[in-house]
């Protein structure tokens, strides 16, 4: 476990996104509706819910506590420079904390995250329902519904609502998984002469979960929301 925690800390420290965005407080500088739309599409990639977990439910009453780090590559970094009045990186680093409440065939997860060096923060919630419980010869299949909302940025209201299917199969201590779905995005400016943007974004991802004994897991995942790619690492303690 100490090596795992050290690895997560190094991932957060050494990633090139440390000075990702600064405060988003100059939204009017985007200048045009087209730029606001492109900026909102990047935000969808950063703020869209990322479970970073296999499809299998907890299978019993209990709870998980987790820490996660997402590194998301921006498609339009020059627009982020305008929105923050700074020289932003082309990546946003988002550390998060998770609480998952489990039952036999359904789980409920709450999360909060804040980008490094920025006022960009979010909270999220996800409900997962088992469609198929994993067996010896067939995988676990789950339906996930999620919601995330921007927090900390006075000039913008932003939310993402999603639905997806996930599948996973455990082989000993290793469980590969994959999934895909769609997000419904609402981005409402509170500065500048822009109009609200509403759009959808397809989402897909793949990862692997490692069981570290009976009460800990480490998951590594890569995925895309529309054209915006992210890499994630998540460490979980189970109680």
- What pLDDT shows up at residue 238? 87
List of domains in the chain: 2-238 (2.40.128)
- What pLDDT shows up at residue 166? 99
> Residue 46: which of 173, 232, 170, 230 has the closest Cα?
230
The two structure tokens encoding residue 138: 């067939």
- What pLDDT shows up at residue 18? 41
pLDDT in tens, 9-25: 455 544 554 444 489 99
The two structure tokens encoding residue 164: 């997806």
Residues in the chain predicted with pLDDT less than 50, given as ranges, are 1-2, 4-6, 9, 13-14, 17-21
End-to-end CA distance of the chain: 16
- What pLDDT shows up at residue 204? 98
Rg of the chain over CA atoms, in angstroms?
18
pLDDT in tens, 110-163: 999 999 889 999 999 999 999 999 998 899 999 999 999 999 999 999 999 999
* Dist. CA 138–CA 104, nearest whole Å: 18
- What pLDDT shows up at residue 15? 52
């Amino acid at each position: 476990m100490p090596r795992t925690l050290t690895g997560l800390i190094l991932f957060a420290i050494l990633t090139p996104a440390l000075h990702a965005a600064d405060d988003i407080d100059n939204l009017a500088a985007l200048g045009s509706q087209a730029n606001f739309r492109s900026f909102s599409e990047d935000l969808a990639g950063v703020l869209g819910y990322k479970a970073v977990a296999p499809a299998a439910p907890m299978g019993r009453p209990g709870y998980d506590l987790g820490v996660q780090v997402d590194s998301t590559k921006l498609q339009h970094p020059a627009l982020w420079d305008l929105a923050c009045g700074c020289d932003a990186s082309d990546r946003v680093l988002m550390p998060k904390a998770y609480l998952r409440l489990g039952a036999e065939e359904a789980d409920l997860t709450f999360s909060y995250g804040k980008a490094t060096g920025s006022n960009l923060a979010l909270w999220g919630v996800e409900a997962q329902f088992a469609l198929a419980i994993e067996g010896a010869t067939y995988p676990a299949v789950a339906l996930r519904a999620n919601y995330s909302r921007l927090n900390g940025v006075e000039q913008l209201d932003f939310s993402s609502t999603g639905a997806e299917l996930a599948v996973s199969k455990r082989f000993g201590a290793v469980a590969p998984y994959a999934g895909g779905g769609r997000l419904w995005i609402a981005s409402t400016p509170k500065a500048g002469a822009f109009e609200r943007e509403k759009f959808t974004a397809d989402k897909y991802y793949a990862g692997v979960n490692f069981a570290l004994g009976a009460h800990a897991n480490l998951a590594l995942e890569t995925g895309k929301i529309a054209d915006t790619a992210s890499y994630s690492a998540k460490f979980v303690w189970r109680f």
